């Protein structure tokens, strides 16, 4: 009789374990970006910033421990989709984030939306997702891909540029960037080239064509290591000092240590610059430098904010991850201390925010970026009106 009672008590105790485990379960976050090849420096910067944000949060969100699963998309859309599917189906993550490149995000997007898994882009901002493909399961902590080049287009207008030659890689983000320049630039487009991505590293042909077109300026978009190659060849070709260069996503904290003097006099724009004076940014920059021994890039700033956005969602429901509607409403309010300063979300879940002109300056033996003006204020992307999502 006593044996039966002990067995019954043991079974009751075992039956209670799943409920207890459920109460104490972790927040699972899948982070997909590029950790190998030339663009790995960007992926690592994003991961480092996300980890710093978790440190600032005490490695908890809404009272729950955080489990991170990092996946390498190898810069390939099909691999990115496979990793996303694995995170959703096998790991059963609560949130997906990262996504450096637009073509990888586009390949992975449907899996997230169909499974009703929140996906927070910490970089890529394809026009399709900002417009017709907008979804209540998607948020951005960066920008729509046209917006930074739109700011540069405005700046070229201010500088009296009458004609420009456009260069960008031939993939989704490259096309969005060029579209952004064209949306705001009021002068004449005298030529444009879409180059192979990501394996083209010789731009002599394109630079020769640009020289022959005799524009007032050249605009180029080449992120990561490819951008360093482009800017180096632009200078070696003799065009530096002859035809001014305007860029987006070439000169940043990751490329400055290699570009050095080549970065001087090449204007850019971003929604975040390292010297923004708000308290959240000061803490982020100081602690990032202390932990990693380098300046954070805008990629890092966006990934840091992605962690903070997820945190307010989980905290708003007290760690009850079944309350997805309430988590969405919390994210829509963007009520957290963003390193860019305060912003709000548009109906398509892309930020409405300022974009700043930036330039590289020499600081002793090193180089950094400084804010030189505001190009666009409280700017909303131009695809939001195509989004039919209602709050």
- pLDDT grade, residue 225 (50/70/90)? confident
User: With a threshold of 0.75, does the pTM exceed it?
Assistant: yes
- pLDDT grade, residue 134 (50/70/90)? very high
Residue (of 11, 125, 48) closest to 290 by Cα position: 48
User: Per residue in 245-271, pLDDT tens?
Assistant: 999 999 999 999 999 999 999 999 999
Does the structure show a pLDDT above 50 at 6?
no
Q: Give the number of other CB atoms < 10 A from CB of residue 365.
A: 6
The pLDDT of residue 25: 82
Q: What is the mean pLDDT of residues 286-291?
A: 98
Does the structure show a pLDDT above 50 at 5?
no
User: Per residue in 327-352, pLDDT tens?
Assistant: 999 999 999 999 999 999 999 999 99
CA triple 120-183-77, angle to 5 deg: 35
User: Per residue in 24-72, pLDDT tens?
Assistant: 489 999 999 999 998 999 999 999 999 999 999 999 999 999 999 999 9
> Alpha helix (H) ranges present in the chain?
2-23, 40-56, 77-89, 102-114, 127-130, 147-158, 172-184, 204-213, 224-236, 256-259, 279-292, 298-316, 324-333
The pLDDT of residue 46: 98
Higher pLDDT: 234 or 9? It is 234
Enumerate domains of the chain plus CATH numbers.
26-143+276-353 (3.40.50.2300), 147-270 (3.40.50.2300)
């Amino acid at each position: 009789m006593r044996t039966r009672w002990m067995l019954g008590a043991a079974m009751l105790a075992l039956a209670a374990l799943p409920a207890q485990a459920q109460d104490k379960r972790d927040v699972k976050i899948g982070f997909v970006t590029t950790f190998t090849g030339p663009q790995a420096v960007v992926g690592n910067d994003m991961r480092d910033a996300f980890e710093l944000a978790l440190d600032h949060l005490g490695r908890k969100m809404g009272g729950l421990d955080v489990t991170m699963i990092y996946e390498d998309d190898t810069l390939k859309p099909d691999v990115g989709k496979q990793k996303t599917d694995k995170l959703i189906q096998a790991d059963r993550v609560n949130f997906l984030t990262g996504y450096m490149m637009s073509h990888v995000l586009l390949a992975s997007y449907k899996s997230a939306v169909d499974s009703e898994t929140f996906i927070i882009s910490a970089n890529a901002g394809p026009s399709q997702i900002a417009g017709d493909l907008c979804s209540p399961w998607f948020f951005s902590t960066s920008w729509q891909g046209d917006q930074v080049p739109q700011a540069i287009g405005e700046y070229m207008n201010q500088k009296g540029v009458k004609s420009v030659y456009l260069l960008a890689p031939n993939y989704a983000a490259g096309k969005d960037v060029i579209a952004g320049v064209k949306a705001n630039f009021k002068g004449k487009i005298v030529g444009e080239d879409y180059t192979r991505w990501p394996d083209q590293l010789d731009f002599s042909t394109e630079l020769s064509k640009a020289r022959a077109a005799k524009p007032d300026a050249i605009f180029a978009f080449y992120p990561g290591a490819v951008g360093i190659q482009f800017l180096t060849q632009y200078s070696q070709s003799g065009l530096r000092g002859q035809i001014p260069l305007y860029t987006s996503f070439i000169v940043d904290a990751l490329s400055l240590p290699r570009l050095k003097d080549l970065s001087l006099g090449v204007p850019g724009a971003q929604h975040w610059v390292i010297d923004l004076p708000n308290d959240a940014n000061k803490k982020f920059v100081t602690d990032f430098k202390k932990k990693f021994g380098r300046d954070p890039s805008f990629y890092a700033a966006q990934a840091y904010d992605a962690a903070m956005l997820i945190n307010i969602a989980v905290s708003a429901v007290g760690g009850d991850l079944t309350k997805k509607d309430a988590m969405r409403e919390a994210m829509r309010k963007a009520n957290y201390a963003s390193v860019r300063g305060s912003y709000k979300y548009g109906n398509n879940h892309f930020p409405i925010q300022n974009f700043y002109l930036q330039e590289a300056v020499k600081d002793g033996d090193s180089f950094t970026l400084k804010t030189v003006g505001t190009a666009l204020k409280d700017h909303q992307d131009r695809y939001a009106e195509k989004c039919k999502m209602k709050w």
